[in-house]
Homo-oligomer: A and B are copies of this chain.
Amino acid sequence: MQANALDTIGTFNAADKALFEKEVKIRHVDKGEVLLREGMVANSLFFNVNGAAFQYSLSPSGAENITGLYMANEWFYNPSSLAAQTPSHSFIAAYVDSIVLELSIQSIHTLIYKSAAFFQFNSLIAQPTTGAYFFDNTLTPIQKYAYILEHRPALLQVFPLKMIAAYLKITPETLSRVREKLARAD
């Protein structure tokens, strides 16, 4: 299962994969378990082997602001906290019981030291996590939902529409109407 995680990043040979398996930790996390807490400095990347996880921040009013929804075979982490080593503004938690891989920064440094192939992690760390920044304010609610249907339909099997709506920065009412409209159009 660890090989999957590497395959999503680039090409690695058998020796690299063996090095990786020695560094990575396999964690069984319970529904609701927190992997990164607001105020902590992110020290690891995570890879979702199976299950589901989500990232969110709390607004002053206490509302959950969802910034990421993660399915199987996706890496997830807080890029800004990790890269700049500053306290996280967000939480990352498992949404259902999950198996995740955890790879610390120290491990990445060790891996890069042992094999140049692991430089490929730089481009992973440099990129915003899955889909999160696709949703700038130029997209309409229909386009946002169409993007989910097109690229990440599995989200709809796992997360309630309420959370999808929060992730897309639209209200549940608007999402409901968008779905009705698209269903009618088919």
Contacts and interface: CB of A to CB of B under 8 A. Distances in A.
A126 B83 contact: yes
A123 to B, nearest CB: 5
A122 B83 contact: yes
Given A136-B136, A137-B135, A137-B137, A127 B80 contact: yes
Residue among A85, A126, A169 with the highest chain B CB neighbour number at 10 A: A126
Interface in A82-119: 82-85
Contact of A83 (B65, B84, B127, B138): B127
A125 interface: yes
Contacts of A133: 133
Contacts of A135: 136-137
Nearest to A138: B169
- Say how many copies of this protein the assembly contains: 2
A137 B139 CA distance: 9
Contact of A125 (B82, B126, B137, B138): B126
Contact of A169 (B79, B84, B137, B169): B137
Contact of A85 (B85, B123, B138): B123
B137 A84 contact: no
Nearest to A168: B137
Contacts of A128: 128
A-B complex: 9 closest residue pairs judged by Cβ atoms: A137-B137, A83-B126, A83-B123, A126-B126, A84-B123, A137-B169, A125-B126, A83-B127, A79-B126
12 contacts: A80-B126, A80-B127, A82-B126, A83-B126, A84-B127, A122-B122, A122-B125, A122-B126, A125-B126, A135-B137, A137-B137, A137-B169
Contacts of A84: 123, 126-127
A185 to B, nearest CB: 22
A2 to B, nearest CB: 23
